[in-house]
Amino acid sequence: MNNKVDWEAARRQPFAEVETPDDWPKSVRPLSWQGLSLFGVDEKRGLFWDGKRIKTEIKLGWAATLLGSLIALFTFLAAVATVSMAVTDILRYLDGS
């Protein structure tokens, strides 16, 4: 098995010369077999294309951040209410009422 990669050939023709489906965006093209060699992964499983890191993070918009914060706040308040009711019930039990 040949383990050598022809990097110049991979860089010359990274994309396959085929027609794409109509539902694909016009700027998207499939990779050629040589182009697949340009993908790489580091030890932290970061994705790279031809030695450059591919951005794979997602940032939430202000509305999603606000909604998530409200959900976290109300979940915390529900937990506090539940604990306080449990403490009240324990104290009533110990008091005998």
Domain regions of the chain by residue span: 1-56, 58-96
Amino acid occupying residue 85: M
- Tokens 């010359």 identify what position? 12
Strand-pairing partners, residue 37, are none
What is the spatial distance between Cα 82 and Cα 46, in angstroms, rounded to a whole number?
A: 42
Considering only CA atoms, which of 5, 22, 3, 2 is closest in space to residue 14? 5
Tell me the per-residue pLDDT of 5-41, one tens digit each, with 9 for 90 and over.
788 888 888 888 888 888 988 888 888 888 888 888 8
Overall pTM surpassing 0.85 (yes/no): no
Neighbour count for residue 74 (Cβ, 10 Å):
10
